[in-house]
Amino acid sequence: MDSFLTGLAKDFHGTLIDPAHADYDAARAIWNGAIDRRPSAVARVRSASDVVTVLRRSQAAGRHVCVRGGGHSASGHSCIDDAVVIDLGGLREVTVNAHRAIARVDGGALWSDVDRVTGAHGLATTGGLISHTGVGGLTLGGGIGWLMRKHGLAVDNLVGAEVVLADGRVVRASSDENPDLFWHCAVAAAILASSRSSTSACIPCATCSPAWSCTRRRAPARCSASSASRRRWRPTS
């Protein structure tokens, strides 16, 4: 382990995997098997504070970072040569406020995680056509899915997010709290990544923990809850 990783390990609570680690090849593999990149390390985070630690220490050391959610980026944006991969795969909790029809989803969750929990309440929202794509990456790209004809894209149903900014601050974003950041999240990571202002807005999106409005299954009335939910949504602690 190089000195950067040794220093990082002191206040990091997840698992750090460097090229010498036995799990390195598995940890750097993503869905597209044609992508064969060698990051300097894969940091399997356990919490938002682990993400903050990796971001701050990487910036201080001049290291690049990239973020991995479900690992389904066809072009391999979630695994970059020589970067530190912030792997959110251990953060997959989903909670539902059934009364308000709102789901809170950790940044590394897959759509199967969402379907399992929302389905138990008779709720659903527009997710991917298959269940093993990541919620974060799919939503930041718009997100097409089975319910879109009636309920819009996945991002249309996004009502808020907890975001780690490039400087390590953790903030909420919704239509009435940091609304500019919220709409940046909704525009699409790919576009943001190509502009200067997005560098600070894209890395920020690095660890979105989103909240979705859901709709009740077999309830044709009031199905498109997105606009109303955006107005109603308040972050919870």
C-alpha 122/C-alpha 55 separation (Å) is: 38
Query: How near is the Cβ of 3 to ligand FAD at its closest, in Å?
Result: 26
Residue closest to ligand FAD (Cβ): 137
Question: Measuring CA to CA, which residue among 41, 102, 57, 130 is closest to residue 232?
Answer: 102
- Whichever of 16 and 206 has its CB closer to ligand FAD, that residue is 206
The strand pairing partners of 215, in sequence order, are 124
Give the distance from CA 87 to its chain's centroid: 10
- Whichever of 140 and 225 has its CB closer to ligand FAD, that residue is 140
Query: How near is the Cβ of 6 to ligand FAD at its closest, in Å?
Result: 26
- Whichever of 39 and 71 has its CB closer to ligand FAD, that residue is 71
Query: How near is the Cβ of 208 to ligand FAD at its closest, in Å?
Result: 4
Residues that bind ligand FAD in the complex, under the rule CB under 6 A: 30-31, 66-74, 77-78, 88, 107, 128-130, 133-134, 136-138, 140-141, 143-145, 189, 205-208
C-alpha 117/C-alpha 120 separation (Å) is: 5
Query: How near is the Cβ of 221 to ligand FAD at its closest, in Å?
Result: 27
Q: How far apart, in Å, are the Cα atoms of 96 and each of 41, 54, 186, 188, 201?
A: 34, 29, 21, 25, 27
Query: How near is the Cβ of 74 to ligand FAD at its closest, in Å?
Result: 6
- Whichever of 28 and 72 has its CB closer to ligand FAD, that residue is 72
C-alpha 89/C-alpha 207 separation (Å) is: 11
Residues 6+ apart with CB under 8 A from 71: 29, 30, 31, 78, 79, 89, 134
Question: Measuring CA to CA, which residue among 137, 77, 128, 129 is closest to residue 108?
Answer: 137
Query: How near is the Cβ of 148 to ligand FAD at its closest, in Å?
Result: 9
User: Are 104 and 56 within 8 A, CB to CB?
Assistant: no
- Whichever of 126 and 215 has its CB closer to ligand FAD, that residue is 126
User: Are 65 and 83 within 8 A, CB to CB?
Assistant: yes
- Whichever of 137 and 152 has its CB closer to ligand FAD, that residue is 137
